[in-house]
Structure 1
Amino acid sequence: MTPSIDHADPPQGKPPPLVEGKQGAKKEHSMTLWQALKLYPKAVGWSVLLSSTLIMEGYDLALLSSMYASPAFNKKFGVQTSSSKWVVPASWQSGLSNGARCGEILGLLLNGLISERLGYRRTMMGALVTITAVIFLFFFAVNIQMLLAAEILAGIPWGIFQTLPAAYASEVCPVVLRPYLTTFINMCWVFGQFVAVGVNRGSISRDDEWAYRIPFGVQWAWPVPILIGCAFAPESPWWHVRQGNLQAARRALQRLTSSDDPSFNPDETLAMIQHTNELEKSLSSGTSYCDCFRGTNLRRTEVVCVVWLVQTLCGQNLMGYFAYFCVQAGLPTVDSFNMSLGQYGLGIVGTLGSW
């Protein structure tokens, strides 16, 4: 149980916890970008590490859709048409994509339950171990049914990767850094898609099974290094406070900040976290998910949902098929992949522009 802020008389010379919390909140909200970078360089580094899982997810999601433009892949997993061309039927293309989405929905739902119980760090490590095992299914797939099973199973850790880094970044970093580190997640996603198209572009000239096995095997380049890094990452101090472990929260906060700044008082930040946690508990007491669709909360739900829907409504899911569409339109295969690389390059520029 999370201990509440004690309003009893504080020790001699020490301000009350509520006063400390207000001081911590005031300092955080008045912090400049440069001050935050100097004080929280470790938090930025750990946040970037966890966000790099989105490079892997972006790579994985773009990989299969761009492979539909690969002759060797189509010959292995597709069917021969009346024009003697090998293609993966549209029904299977849709099934593979939707299978991954089903797994992602499950992963998104599980993430909140598991991360609140086990913590962000252990949840991320479990997801990385899972995806490492699932990649074997991709690499050794002998038919399209095995690919479908791999897509569904991989979707579960992918769903965790989508949400956990954003929650971790928003908790370990001060307010001024959150817009940069949460949108950096999108850059990781786009960069992963860029790498996927580049790897496919490099192996497209092969006419054997390695034309698609090499891109599948490259997926192993991410999980192990990130897993090792996550083993040493500090847990979110907010999570420790929610678990009632204030000493662990203080240690985590010290690991996330630089010890060179004498003006930083971890007790003030810890008091702010405690006070905010108690406030959120009091506001959520007696409420349910149904309250998200009532009164003022309905407006907040609408705003959040529409902001997230923009990513899909702009045609994001069609971007992965860009090379395939170009090939179907008559553009040479290599040129189609070059066009796709340019598309994702513009995506990286767009994320920089959002900053």
Structure 2
Amino acid sequence: MALPVELPAWVPQQSWLACTILVLTSCVTSTTLGFDGSMMNGLNILPSYTDYFTLTTATLALNTASVWMGSVLAGIGYAKVPDWIGRKWALFFGAVLTIIGVVLQTAAQNIAMFVIARIIIGFGTGASSIAAPVYLAETVPVKLRAVSLALLYDFWYVGGLIAAGVTYGTAKMDSTWAWRLPSALQGLFSLMCIILIPFTPESPRWLQSQGRSQEALLALAQTHSNGNVDDPAVTVQFRQIVDTLAFERSFEKPTFVKQLVNSSSTRKRLFLVCTVAVFSMLSGNNIISYYLGTMLEQAGITDSTTQLEINIILNAWCLVVSIVGTAMADKLGRKGLAAISTGLLTVFIFMVGALTKVYGNSTNNSGIYGTVAAIFLFQGAYSFGWTPLTVLYPPEVLNFGIRSVGMGVYTFLVNGVGLMVTFAFPFALNAIGWKTYMINGAWDVIELVVVLIFWVETRGRTLEEIDENLDGEVHSVAPKLQAILGVAPEERGEIVDAMELRKDKEIDVRGEVREVVKD
């Protein structure tokens, strides 16, 4: 299928390299947020930060939670931007906004300036949270989709580990640079995104939706077959994309609200996305992510240096466990991974609550460090499943027509819930202490039941093939990708040839003859 289009010289010819740059570019969101969570954990421990702003419980929560406010706004105001300008450039502008916020945060002179800066950072990372998962899901090969999307949020702990080390190192500074320097370094990941993004291809599905078929096929080949547009697997996937998008366009395009009201499939997709948004924030992990210092104080560890050291070790532990969970995403499946993770973290959060009650005000070192061990086990259980699934599952269950808006809804909800719990937990920990963990554990039981009953498995399928699980029908006459990958290379051409014989005779849902996949 020869095309009069040459591979751009600035995009890597090797698919593995193109996919690697794609992942690194998209990971800016989670790395920045991970850095932010760990940085605020560290800053909330540092007297140079708390004394400079004269923080109370309310202003401590406001300074910490304001980043979620910006992300909530992004969920509303940025949802359609990836559909308008493309996934790639939507991610680019999200990174630019984040850098603007970082500069203001570093220069903050009072609480108001600090909060406004963090709202801008939140809007930038929220914008990236919409664009990055959609971009990766639509661009990388099926065999790499789980790893790529899971790594996207595994990088939370890369940012967290870096921030933990930085705040530990700056803690001994006597000036405000003890907290300004970590704030400034938060922008490095967005800068990396801006530098790398010119070397990545645009989403082939978005290009096809814009009628740019030749560019779409080329972008698909760049990440799947080292630029070979004649590769049978590329041909089949491109046909699936063309057919599915043509099917979606064959109906009068309703508004998102109307589609949500009239389509049970759309409602099911949004329900699944919303479960990920809520569960990933309300499993108890946000207590540890932002208020580890308070938890450790209640557990009996009051030395700030020791708390910072535990913060570093915890982030390293979570990074390792999340990578293990990522490696298991295709073996266990999305539903199995979520169920195992939720079941384990439920047990461990009850342990944290019980040990905090018994040993929190004691001098029993064994009990105190048993509490710390339970915190590590809980965070490890969360990291094993929910960290990879946070942005792996939502873009998989959303079809192209609602994928960007659906991720906007996801971003609004996940950050709205994050804002609520980040602001509320300091008051809960101060008021009821260990009972906070028990209440959260009871909620986690509900999460497990929902996952087991309602989740739909998506592993091993292209985004177009997943539609069959949710719509009950396939929207393409192309064979499934596994039918190509599971046969000898010399036989693949015969399957593609058989598909091509039908391409000009296909009748769409309106009964009109339409041509697809033109050379």
- The TM-score with structure 1 as length reference comes to 0.79
Residue 323 of structure 1 corresponds to 293
1:270 to 212, 233, 238: 238
**Letter paired with 2:324:** G
Matched positions, count: 310
**Are residues 281 and 190 of structure 1, via their aligned partners in 2, closer, same or farther at CA, if it must alter by over 3 Å?**
farther
C-alpha distance in 1, partners of 2:217/2:228?
Answer: 16
C-alpha distance in 1, partners of 2:126/2:320?
Answer: 25
Per-residue CA distance 1:2-59 (angstroms, 9 max, x = gap): xxxxxxxxxxxx8xxxxxxxxxxxxxxxxxxxxxxx9841442133122320212321
Residue 324 of structure 2 corresponds to 353
Q: 1:295 Cα shift?
A: 4.1
- SS where residue 331 of structure 1 aligns? coil
Residue 76 of structure 1 corresponds to 52
Residue 51 of structure 1 corresponds to 26
Residue 249 of structure 2 corresponds to 281
C-alpha distance in 1, partners of 2:229/2:99?
Answer: 43
Residue 186 of structure 1 corresponds to 153
Query: Stretches of 4+ moved more than 6 A in 1?
Result: 260-263
C-alpha distance in 2, partners of 1:205/1:56?
Answer: 24
Residue 270 of structure 2 corresponds to 301
Q: 1:113 Cα shift?
A: 1.1
Equivalent residues of 2:204, 2:219 under 8 A apart:
yes
**Are residues 200 and 68 of structure 1, via their aligned partners in 2, closer, same or farther at CA, if it must alter by over 3 Å?**
same
Q: 1:119 Cα shift?
A: 0.9
Deviation larger for 333-342 or 219-228: 219-228
Per-residue CA distance 1:47-103 (angstroms, 9 max, x = gap): 31223202123212432243110011112112xxxxxxxxx2111122223422121
Residue 209 of structure 2 corresponds to 242
Residue 106 of structure 1 corresponds to 73
Deviation larger for 287-296 or 198-207: 287-296
Write the mapping of 1:127-276 to structure 2, written as runs, cut at 5 A. 127-259=94-226, 264-265=231-232, 266-276=234-244
Q: Among the aligned pairs, what percent are the same residue?
A: 22
**Are residues 299 and 314 of structure 1, via their aligned partners in 2, closer, same or farther at CA, if it must alter by over 3 Å?**
same
Q: 1:285 Cα shift?
A: 4.0
C-alpha distance in 2, partners of 1:52/1:175?
Answer: 18
Equivalent residues of 2:42, 2:168 under 8 A apart:
no
**Letter paired with 2:296:** C
C-alpha distance in 1, partners of 2:266/2:135?
Answer: 24
C-alpha distance in 2, partners of 1:75/1:287?
Answer: 50
Deviation larger for 117-126 or 254-263: 254-263
**Letter paired with 1:279:** F
Residue 93 of structure 1 corresponds to 60
- SS where residue 348 of structure 1 aligns? helix
**Letter paired with 1:75:** D
**Letter paired with 1:337:** L
- The TM-score with structure 2 as length reference comes to 0.55
Deviation larger for 261-270 or 100-109: 261-270
Matched, 1:312 2:281: yes
Q: CA RMSD in A?
A: 2.6
Gaps of 5+ in 2: 2-12, 328-519
Deviation larger for 148-157 or 315-324: 315-324
C-alpha distance in 2, partners of 1:157/1:174?
Answer: 27
- SS where residue 174 of structure 2 aligns? coil
Equivalent residues of 1:65, 1:321 under 8 A apart:
yes
C-alpha distance in 1, partners of 2:254/2:230?
Answer: 40
Write the mapping of 1:107-126 to structure 2, written as runs, cut at 5 A. 107-126=74-93
Q: 1:279 Cα shift?
A: 2.4
C-alpha distance in 1, partners of 2:135/2:308?
Answer: 34
